[in-house]
Amino acid sequence: MSLSNRAVVYKGPGKVAVENIEYPDLVLRDGPGVNPLNVGRKCDHGVILKVIATNICGSDQHMVRGRTTAPSGLVLGHEITGEVIEVGSDVEFMKVGDIVSVPFNIACGRCRNCKSQDTHICTNVNPDRPGSAYGYVDMGGWVGGQSEYVMVPYADFQLLKFPDKEQALDKIQDLTMLSDIFPTGFHGAFSAGVGIGSTVYVAGAGPVGLAAAHSAQLLGASVVIVGDLIEERLEQARSFGCETVNLSKHDRLGEQIEQILGVPEVDCAVDAVGFEASGHGPGSGEAPATVLNSVMTVTRAGGRLGIPGLYVTGDPGGIDDDAKEGTLKIRIGLGWAKAHHFVTGQTPVMKYHEFLMKAILSEKAQIAKAVNATVISLDEAPSGYEVFDKGAAKKFIIDPHGVIRKRTAAAKDAIKMS
């Protein structure tokens, strides 16, 4: 087996590069961002994966823009789908050759929170705070998966094995969304209380917002309205039946919703934007509390708000001293007066990924189409980051070994011959 391993590495604000890194083993070694208390941690409960698909996430972009305290040299990537090529001595149920989805939350399966299905706030994997993820700032230092190979701990507990390898490879562009954005979008819609006949507002038409909108449709919403500043992204939302509001042109969200629904409010709302929010209307600049305040304004009294959008405790690029430490001017009095219910934090992927997998395999969910999945090579990752940062209506899937493109080419050849 070759011991080479190439990966996407954060090199400082606005810069990523593809570099050679160490081939993984079943120990968490020292490196950029690794908490000293995690160095040398043995992972005989883990596996080594050959990465089949690994995606660029909006959360990665926050780091690449320099809007977090991520260190230079951090290996990026928390959306991982791969083939098991090595198993640790404590692994019982995962086998070499299995194709698996990796939840972006790293979870031990042993602590109180994991036993309560709150795998997004595991207390045993990150000495800094509850909760962890691959290739992410302040998350314990677990090496990211935008690479050719990666180590995944606690494999028996965490990994979602696909039941049929060939079927999985046929649907890999949908299934790779199970590591993060499909469960995250679903969590936003589900925790907002979306049900049969609900009217829903989704703030943000990036991949998570589009996944939330598609999830709201799966949950039975009657109308899903998506707001964004970029027309190309709104066009993508309209492509699968959403109503849209271009917030670069309008600053009165309630009036825009009233034009669609006849009333200026919705039953449920999802914040899929997070802390790098912009004000609404022509010429508006960054205003990090805008989305939270606007969704409270347009959600009916007694409604629920799902908030999968990322908010951080440290933002070097914040617009003022408060924003730099995650202190925002939120109208909590409005939310209190309207008896709103808020759900925040990382998504507990394992609550959702198995039944969302079944929805994909039964063709009830078309998540790759909804988010405009676009396959690129590992070497194309830096340009993918650049294009995505400009607001492209695409979800970039990195194909480190060319497996997806070879599969797609073979399928096209088969169609031509039939």
Flag whether pLDDT at 381 surpasses 80: yes
Give the pLDDT confidence of 105-148 residue by residue, as tens digits.
999 999 999 999 999 999 999 999 999 999 999 999 999 999 99
* CA dist., res. 147 & res. 14, Å (int): 19
Domain boundary among 343, 378, 409: 343
Residues 352 and 311 in one domain: no
In a domain, 246, yes or no: yes
Nearest to 229 by CA among 258, 209, 212, 213: 209
Residues 312 and 359 in one domain: no
Tokens read off for 309 = 């959008």
* CA dist., res. 369 & res. 139, Å (int): 31
Residues 318 and 267 in one domain: yes
Tokens read off for 252 = 């009165």
How many domains are there within the chain? 2
- What DSSP designation does 177 have? G
Residues 158 and 200 in one domain: no
pLDDT band at 2 (very low <50, low <70, confident <90, very high): low
Quote the domain boundaries for residue 338. 182-343
In a domain, 168, yes or no: yes
In a domain, 35, yes or no: yes
Give the pLDDT confidence of 267-319 residue by residue, as tens digits.
999 999 999 999 999 988 999 999 999 999 999 999 999 999 999 888 999 99
Residues 76 and 169 in one domain: yes
- The chain-wide mean pLDDT, for the chain, equals 95
Residues 173 and 218 in one domain: no
Residues 288 and 319 in one domain: yes
Residues 71 and 96 in one domain: yes
* CA dist., res. 247 & res. 203, Å (int): 10
Domain boundary among 343, 361, 394: 343
Scanning 137-271, the segments in alpha helix (DSSP H) are 155-158, 165-170, 172-175, 181-191, 207-218, 231-238, 253-261
Domain boundary among 302, 319, 343: 343
Number of H helices, E strands in the chain: 16, 17
The angle formed by the CA atoms of residues 266, 268 and 272, to the nearest 5 degrees, is: 115
Residues 144 and 191 in one domain: no
Q: List the CATH number of the domain containing 359.
A: 3.90.180.10
Residues 373 and 304 in one domain: no
Nearest to 394 by CA among 201, 257, 207: 207
Tokens read off for 135 = 């290739």
Nearest to 89 by CA among 59, 132, 44: 44
In a domain, 112, yes or no: yes
Residues 91 and 129 in one domain: yes
Flag whether pLDDT at 201 surpasses 70: yes
In a domain, 1, yes or no: no
* CA dist., res. 176 & res. 54, Å (int): 7
Terminal Cα distance for the chain, rounded: 38
Q: List the CATH number of the domain containing 257.
A: 3.40.50.720
